[in-house]
Chains A and B, each alone.
Chain A
Amino acid sequence: MTGSTRYVLRGVAPLGGEPTDLLLADGIIAAIGTDAVRAALDTDVSDRARGMAHAGSDTEAVEIDGAGLVALPGLVDLHTHLREPGREDAETVASGTRAAALGGFTAVHAMANTTPVADTAGVVEQVWRLGQDAGWVDVHPVGAVSVALAGEHLAELGAMAASAARVRVFSDDGKCIADPVLMRRALEYVKAFDGVIAQHAQEPRLTADAQMHEGIVSAELGLTGWPAVAEEAIIARDVLLAEHVGSRLHVCHLSTAGSVDLVRWAKARGIDVTAEVTPHHLLLTDELARGYDPVYKVNPPLRTAADVEAVRAGLADGTIDIVATDHAPHTREDKDCEWAAAAAGMTGLETALSVVQQTMVDTGRLTWADVARVMSSAPAAIGRITGGDRPQGRPITVGEPANLTLVDPAARWTVVPEVQATASANSPFRGRELPGRVVATFLRGRATVLAGQAVPQADAGSPGAAGSAYPTTARNA
Chain B
Amino acid sequence: MRHLLSTADLDRATAIHILDTAAQMAATQSREIKKLPTLRGRTVINLFFEDSTRTRISFETAAKRLSADVINFSAKGSSVSKGESLKDTALTLQAMGADAVVVRHQASGAPHTLAHAGWVDGAVINAGDGTHQHPTQALLDAYTIRRHLAVAGGAGGGGTLDPSGRDLAGLKVAIVGDVLHSRVARSNVLLLRTLGADVTLVAPPTLIPVGVEAWPCRVSYHLDDVLRAEQPDAIMMLRVQRERMGAGGSGGGAFFPNPLEYTRGFGLDARRLALLPEHAIVMHPGPMNRGLEISADAADSRRAVIVEQVANGVAVRMAVLYLLLAGDAAEPKLVDERVGIA
A interface residues (Cβ-Cβ under 8 A, vs B)? 205, 208, 211, 214-225, 227, 291-292, 333, 336-341
Contact = CB atoms under 8 A, between A and B. Distances in A.
The 10 closest A-B pairs by CB, nearest first: A219-B211, A222-B132, A292-B109, A222-B131, A222-B108, A340-B107, A219-B209, A338-B107, A216-B211, A338-B110
12 contacts: A215-B210, A219-B211, A220-B186, A223-B108, A225-B209, A333-B85, A336-B117, A338-B79, A338-B105, A339-B113, A340-B106, A341-B86
A227 B210 CA distance: 9
Contacts of B211: 214-220, 225
A223 B212 contact: no
A222 B253 contact: no
Contacts of B252: 205
B73 interface: no
B112 A292 contact: yes
A227 B183 CA distance: 21
Contacts of A220: 8, 186, 211, 214-215
Contacts of B210: 214-215, 218-219, 225, 227
A77 to B, nearest CB: 32
Number of chain B interface residues as a range: 20 to 34
B265 interface: no
Contacts of B8: 220
Given A208-B253, A227-B210, A341-B80, A222 B186 contact: yes
Contacts of B214: 216, 219-220
A217 B132 CA distance: 11
B201 to A, nearest CB: 11
B211 to A, nearest CB: 3
Contact of B129 (A214, A216, A217, A222): A222
A341 B253 contact: no
A222 B113 contact: no
Given A215-B211, A218-B210, 19 more contacts: A208-B253, A214-B211, A218-B209, A219-B209, A219-B212, A220-B211, A221-B109, A222-B129, A222-B132, A223-B131, A291-B112, A292-B108, A292-B109, A292-B113, A337-B86, A338-B79, A338-B80, A339-B109, A340-B130
A336 B186 contact: no
B80 A339 contact: no
B113 A221 contact: no
B84 to A, nearest CB: 11
Contacts of A336: 85, 87, 117
Nearest to B209: A219
A225 B209 CA distance: 9
Nearest to B181: A222
Contacts of B108: 211, 221-223, 292, 339-340
